[in-house]
Amino acid sequence: MTQQITLAGGCFWCIEGAFKQVRGVLKAESGYAGGHRENPTYEQVCAGETGHAEVVQITFEPTALSTREILEIFFALHDPTQLNRQGNDVGTQYRSAIFYQSEEQRVAAEDIIAEMRDEGTWNDEIVTEIEPLEKFWPAEDYHDNYVERNPRNAYCQAVVSPKLAKFKRTFAEKLE
């Protein structure tokens, strides 16, 4: 039986591009969560009008990939100490958040954050929000596989490609 977890860690193109390569991930879909507007658009979310974060909803096979492993990858893909931003992407839509869909996911998220704090993994305080997923809104179709379809995009070349290259080196054994 598959599970889903929804993660926000800055621009969803980076998170989606990485998780689509992970063995055990059946689907990684960009979208929006954590806000107050129904059927938000990309423009509304980017303008900060909705309260939503850019997220990726990950559908995975828990016998092949644990929630813990997903969270380890997630925390390697972004800086969870940056409040409402990732690098030059600034605004609540770029916040770090875990939208859990089960008690097991909530506990796993709390445990890994506590461990990183105890071990001093990050120099600054971890600001990742942990909250139940109320509603996932899929992003517009043109966001699907955005990095693959737009390799010449300046943002993809400057920001996404270096992150994905580092990701591939770090998690080579988990990739398809």
Q: What is the DSSP string of 114-161?
A: HHHHHHT-SSS----EEEE----EEPPGGGTTHHHH-TT-HHIIIIIH
Q: Which residues of the chain have pLDDT under 50?
A: none
The 8-class DSSP code of residue 86 comes to: E
Q: Which residue has the tokens 């600034």?
A: 90
Residue 79, classed as helix, strand or coil, is coil
| 76 membership: H or E segment, kind and range | helix 67-77
What residues make up the domain containing 13?
A: 3-174
Amino acid 159: pLDDT: 82
Buried b (16+ CB within 10 A) or exposed e, 14-33: bbbbbbbebebbeebbbbbb
Is residue 174 within 8 A of residue 73, CB to CB? The reply is: yes
Active-site positions read 11
Helices 161-170 and 67-77 meet at what angle, rounded to 10? 140
Q: How many domains does the chain have?
A: 1
Amino acid 67: pLDDT: 97
Half-sphere exposure of 32 (CA within 13 A, CB side): 24
Write the DSSP string, 5-64: EEEEES-HHHHHHHHTTBTTEEEEEEEEESSS-SS--HHHHHTT-S--EEEEEEEE-TTT
69: CATH? 3.30.1060.10
